[in-house]
Structure 1
Amino acid sequence: MNFPIIILFLLLFFFNPPQKHLIVSSSTIEDTCLDAVCNLTEPVIRFPFQIQSNSSSSCGYPGFTVTCNNRGQTLLNLPQSGGEFSIKEIDYDTQQVWVNDPHNCLPKRILSLNLTSSPFEAVYNQEFTFFNCSVNLEYLKYRYNPIACLSDSNHMLFATASSSVVVYLSSICNVVKKVKVPVAVPFYEHAVSSNLSDNLRLSWEWPQCGRCESHGGRCGFESNTTSHVVCFNDFSSKGISRGAQYAIGVGLGVPALLCFIAILSCLCNKLKILAHRWAWDSQTVPDFEPLISPQQTITLGLDGPTIESYPKMVVGESPNLLPRPNDNTCPICLSEYKPKETVKRIPDCLHCFHAQCIDEWLPLNASCPICRTSPNKLPAAA
């Protein structure tokens, strides 16, 4: 490795000025528009957001005005979405905000969510289908996750993004609405349902202040009489010139770089010495045959012939044709037996399962999934 070339490249990097990003040295706007909070546990509010009646209108961008309620919550108004949402977190670098319902019933707000007239949009949209089911189908609440704040003594509401659950619930429940939800993390197919209580993840495209924030600056209007957004540099506001910034960077960076190179060179020399010793030792030590034979593979489940010997039956038009009339649900996949499905029975305990489910279970577990009885294996062929 050619260390002088690396040093030259890094020195050029330090002395090369960064790209301009509308950085200005100082401003009255920057001095008067200070960070604010509704509560010590709430997110910090600064441009493009501003707390209403807490500063001049030039301290925030249109559409980003927030208020503080009597509980100290920071509220953001989304005009066509039924009013105010509570702000849970703001990431100014990535220009993202997480919101929820201040009254703890976010699914109700989601049903009327409309971001078209706001400066915000979803980072990730996922379609959810809302279902209204009768309480007579009480078993559903054990299989899925009902929305408590929208359910009552007569109906249960569910929301799901799973296509298989949508097909199933459509046959027994009423579809309320299909909604695109700006979820924080996408739900996958195996997540059958959700109460949609997690924060909504939104972002804004303009004003573009993410790069300014990530470089330690603060965004704001250039003056009281213009809508031009600029980046106020923190160093400049403290009276340090840009040339002094580069001098500080070089003064701290070059010695640290030289120290790192010296440590890296020392480590390389140590590794070379260890490599030579290992090569010498490997030549002088004679080869020996391994004294320990490889361990045999231990089979935990049942063998194939034993599993195939278990009796099968095809479910008729009524589940009562099963050996045990009350066993109308497969204990492994928790799905009800349907006509023409193949069911397999364990002879030792007479418990039944879907043939495919038990065929996948027994090679790994030599016991019944319900009573843990260990079935007898077939005798080995002579």
Structure 2
Amino acid sequence: MAALELFFSFLLLLIFFFIIPTQASCPPSSCPRGPTVRFPFRLQRFQLRRCGYAGFDLSCNNQTLQTTLSLSNFSGNNFIVQTIDYGHQTLTVNDPDHCLPKRFLDRSFDNLLDTTPFRIHSFQMYTFLNCSPQATSIPATARNISCLSGENHTVFAMPSGAYDNWLQSTATSPSPSPSSSGLSCAISSVRVPARAANELGVFGDAIEDVALTWSTPDCRVCETSGRDCGLNRDSQIVCSDPKAKRKGLPRSAKYGIIIGVGIPGILCILGLASYVCGRINAYGRRNRPNMDLSTSASQQPAIVVVGLDGPTIESYPKTLLGESRRLPKSNDTTCSICLGEYQPKEELRTIPECNHYFHASCVDEWLKMNATCPVCRKSPEGSALVTPSSSMSSSSTSLPSP
């Protein structure tokens, strides 16, 4: 176990000194449907807190997978981040429902100076008219805001100056006043970001976005020089070379770490393998006595009757066939062992108990291994039986008969 712990210790050192320094500590991130997020912004749950600047936290919307920015402490004041221009320190936002006029009426952009580091350079005053269907006199410069309108009312928007001029023109004209002519509109004047106001006056509610800028932290010098902006350990803005981050340790240092950690790691693996093999061998030795005992018991010779001894076999009568091949049993003309017919001048041997004839050579070999007649399986009476041990000893001391 000690070898295993030592190996994992060296592995952790390898990861800490070799792998970690070669990676950027605050790599860029992004939502699936959003721009690239890097300092001074920080994508919550994906980047460390030290990777961003205070007030620049972004998040990913779980439903739309878009990047969102909150301009207040209320979750209902979230905006979709469409683009981030790090060189000009500008980002563009839009309403999640694509109805920016609603956010103008909510005055979501009025208190940026108090709650966020973002600014809007200039505003224009706009007048919103919430008119009933009975309204008969609508200014020509008013634009329909369809995302705020409904079946029982229609919302219009126009520059406040143009609305004031229209009121003056209706007051001096002989026509009835707005209230008496059936205008039936509720009036609200709000501040609208200048660029969005220009689009609102031309396209109505088809406003693409609102541009926000920031001045602190100022990373424009780093961006224009192609370097990365970030915080050091003292929370100061610094510029770093991205190539130096990717380079990490020198190649010689990497090779030194690989050799210095790899060789001890290999030795630890070999030691661990030796330890495991030793444990396996020890376990095998503990179980070996029982196996040896069973093996020795199985190797002891069993006393089994297998055949007759040589003198007993030679005591059985022999017969030399003549030319006529005449035998006591006329139908007994074939040796039952080799299945060959008897020929003149062949020696036959007879088993006394049953008077069955066989070739002498065939039945001699048979009786050495079997103590019964090959035909009737009778065992001759008074025959000397042999065991494997006795047959081995007798074969080693006796000489073959001529």
Relative to the length of structure 2, the TM-score reads: 0.46
Higher normalized helix content (fraction of residues): 2
Larger radius of gyration: 2
Normalising by structure 1, we get a TM-score of 0.49
